[in-house]
Structure 1
Amino acid sequence: MVIWPHVISMPIYFALLLGVIVFFRKHYKLSAYFWLASLLTFPLWLMGNVDGWFRWVKILSVIIPTIIVGFSRIAVHEDKKGPIWDFLKKDDFLWFFYAILFLNIAEATIKDITLGNYSNAACGFLLCVTIPFAPKYWKILKNSSADLVAYTTGSWNFIYTSWNACFVYAESPMYFASSLCILLAAELYPVMKKRPELYITARIYTLAAHLLLRACFDIFPKVMDSTSWFNPQVMSVWGIINFVIIVPYVFWHMWQLHNNKAQYSFKRLKSA
């Protein structure tokens, strides 16, 4: 197993992805127009870098919502007026982002089942169950960055990261190393900021950037091929561990909702 190229390429890509998060979080308006313009790269996708139904669904189900996130941030931050802007500002529209996250997890969960990665698929199902509801636990803040925040917990973020890494390990071993970079960037950025609620924003922009790069110029098989890392036993054990970890979290999550503690434990507010 040759790993020295990964020792060089993975830290570089990880640092680049952290920069992507910082840039698109700060420049909310440029973010919206950049991701809208990214659709013009569609001819490059047809050159063979996007193949199979899952890849097409995945890239479109990430790029289009990323565009909508950008314009929703503009609508809220600049208090835009007009039928479309007013619609994007509605609290109920936050259910759209909830639904996209739910569907993205569900996509991978279904794929996990087809791969025989059943324990990890069960974990994915429970991740869907424990997504904090909109609009109560989702918001676009009226701060300088117009942040989209979803009040997930640090534990949920970690389980999601481990679940998704296991999924990619099973579904696309060749891209596991590069996908690990995007997952770690999204995981560690909120940790560094001590704001778990930024996880979904970080995940949106790292995933969108990665999928766009793969669709246009798929360099990863040359610089970060991790095919040889795959081991079916590792996949199976990893999926079981993810399931074992999430089960107690599900009980905790439901307990918080049942006892009306979620507004404090999810949003990290001080109890009255």
Structure 2
Amino acid sequence: MSIPIWKYALSMLTYFVVLLCITELLRKKYKLANIVWICSLLTFPLWLMGGVSGWFRWAKILSVILPTIVVGFCRIANFEERKGSFWEFFQKGWILWFVYGMLFLNILEATLKDVSLGNYANAACGFLLCATIPFAPKFWEYSKTGEGDLICYTTVGWNFLYTTWNLCFVYGESPNYFASTICILMAAELYPIFKKKPELYIMSRVYTLATHMILRSCFGTMFLKVMDASTWYNASFAKYWGILNFILIIPYLFWYMWQLHTGKAEISFKRGKTNNNVTTLNT
């Protein structure tokens, strides 16, 4: 059954705004955020009822929600400088490598799925995205002011390439959820712009993706009633989109390597800003 254009527009705009509001609320209320994500695991019976099946879908949900919970504990532990073995566990330097690793794994999961779907060019782009994630802990920090944000100094180019790569992946893997994916990726892109804090991209991406994964797992049929984009799918378009993504990331890869080689990354990745209000984690 075809969906009227006005329903796409209304539902996508509504979902986009909802995602921005949820991100803003959970970013500011970091304790509430962690309670929400911990409690979200209790909704797993709805995942089963909603038809969640297959290794990729379960791995995707858990590899998003569990690290989001870890990020929540880290925000509390580092921002409030809590004492005790439990909280000090989340103040160790390796924890930033863990978060880095979860982002790496999240991209790698989709990349391997792209390979199985035969979209090799987009998969190659995914592998290069993994290789160009700014290293932890040099470009990852926890803020000591405001809301104790997780800060990651990704570049504008990396954010854009991640967005177009991810859209292409979802377009080929789950075209019926492509419209809702546009919403979560645009919310993640635009939230840091609205806040004038580009270093919040990864945090906004974590929260928009975690929100979407829970809602989709529990109420997947709701999305399909108002945003089913399966009729938009075209295999040739997906193939050439993947090729374009691969072409675009090649010059970025060389730029990224040049920034690291020349020592300019400290400035270019951080957009010329030095953030002194951050937590230096213990090794």
So what's the TM-score if we normalise by structure 1?
0.97
Q: Which residue of 1 aligns with 2:155?
A: 153
Q: Deviations over 1:189-227 (max 9, x none)?
A: 112233221111011000000010111122111110000
Q: Which residue of 2 aligns with 1:204?
A: 206
Is residue 50–residue 218 contact of structure 2 (8 Å, CA) maintained in 1? no
Q: Which residue of 1 aligns with 2:180?
A: 178
Q: Which residue of 2 aligns with 1:252?
A: 255
Gaps of 5+ in 1: none
SS of aligned partner of 1:139:
strand
> Offset at 1:43?
1.5
CA distance in 2, matches of 1:229, 1:171: 13
Q: For 1:221, which of 224, 239, 251 is the aligned residue?
A: 224
CA distance in 1, matches of 2:51, 2:89: 35
Q: Which moved more, 1:214-223 or 1:7-16?
A: 214-223
One-letter code of the match for 2:118? G
One-letter code of the match for 2:242? G
Q: Does 1:238 align with 2:258?
A: no
Is residue 49–residue 216 contact of structure 1 (8 Å, CA) maintained in 2? no
**1:112/1:59 CA distance change after superposition, 3 Å:** same
> Offset at 1:5?
1.5
Q: Deviations over 1:4-35 (max 9, x none)?
A: 32011000000001111111111111111111
Q: Which moved more, 1:119-128 or 1:34-43?
A: 34-43
CA distance in 1, matches of 2:255, 2:50: 45
Q: Which residue of 2 aligns with 1:139?
A: 141
CA distance in 2, matches of 1:192, 1:241: 28
One-letter code of the match for 2:238? M
SS of aligned partner of 2:141:
strand
Equivalent pairs, count:
271
> Offset at 1:270?
5.6
Q: For 1:48, which of 50, 56, 63 is the aligned residue?
A: 50
One-letter code of the match for 1:154? V
Aligned residues: percent identity?
Answer: 61
CA distance in 2, matches of 1:196, 1:118: 31
CA distance in 2, matches of 1:84, 1:234: 50
Is residue 120–residue 242 contact of structure 1 (8 Å, CA) maintained in 2? yes
Q: Deviations over 1:97-140 (max 9, x none)?
A: 00000000000000001111111101000000000000110011
Is residue 170–residue 230 contact of structure 1 (8 Å, CA) maintained in 2? yes
Q: Does 1:77 align with 2:79?
A: yes
Is residue 49–residue 217 contact of structure 1 (8 Å, CA) maintained in 2? no
Q: For 2:167, which of 148, 165, 168 is the aligned residue?
A: 165
Q: Does 1:268 align with 2:271?
A: yes
> Offset at 1:240?
1.1
Is residue 50–residue 219 contact of structure 2 (8 Å, CA) maintained in 1? no
One-letter code of the match for 2:175? P
Q: Which residue of 2 aligns with 1:94?
A: 96
**1:79/1:270 CA distance change after superposition, 3 Å:** closer
Q: Deviations over 1:244-269 (max 9, x none)?
A: 11110110000010011111111123
CA distance in 2, matches of 1:49, 1:212: 13
CA distance in 1, matches of 2:154, 2:266: 11
Q: Which residue of 1 aligns with 2:279?
A: none
Is residue 30–residue 147 contact of structure 2 (8 Å, CA) maintained in 1? yes
